Amino acid sequence: MNFKKLVDLREANNLYQKDIAKVIGVSQQTYSLWETGNKIIPLKHLNTLANYYRVSIDYLLGLTNKKIYYQSIASLNKKKIGQNLKTIREKYNLTMRELANILNTTSSTISAYESGKTLILTVFAFQICQRYNLSMDIFLGRVKTEKTKSMV
């Protein structure tokens, strides 16, 4: 994942790393690691950044070059995201084991995501969206769709 857009947005708004770190509630050092790509930003913080900059998560992650802004949501819904993951998995006729193999994780991890017990890792969500040409914002429930199935 390339987080160059984080730098571009921050600089375009004449902000320092410490300013953005304060907005999202992390240290400047942590934010710096995210901006340089040395660490992956958790989804909840990507959501906060998208809300702050009024851009899509797809834009922040480089899945699109359009700065589309969707409705702001305060926090991500693990259960809804889990349901969306299951919908994607079923649409592509994947078992939990097959999806786990694609993501280099375990079936029990996929089960924990799908049941909403655990929020999917950013890197896994990104891989799924990239592999199946999906919007991260729709996957995460930031965009209202008539049917969940319309996202896939």
Per-residue pLDDT tens listing for the chain (152 residues): 678 899 999 999 999 999 999 999 999 999 999 999 899 999 999 999 999 999 999 999 989 888 887 777 888 999 999 999 999 999 999 999 999 999 999 999 999 999 999 999 999 999 999 999 999 999 999 887 644 444 55
- pLDDT score of 145: 62
Contact 68, 75 (CB under 8 A): no
Q: Dump the DSSP string for 118-151.
A: SPPPHHHHHHHHHHTT--HHHHTT-S--S-GGGG
CATH 1.10.260.40 in the chain: give the residue spans: 4-60, 78-151
Domain 78-151 CATH class label:
mainly alpha
Homologous superfamily, domain 4-60 = lambda repressor-like DNA-binding domains (1.10.260.40)
Say how many Å lie between the first and final Cα of the chain, rounded. Answer: 22
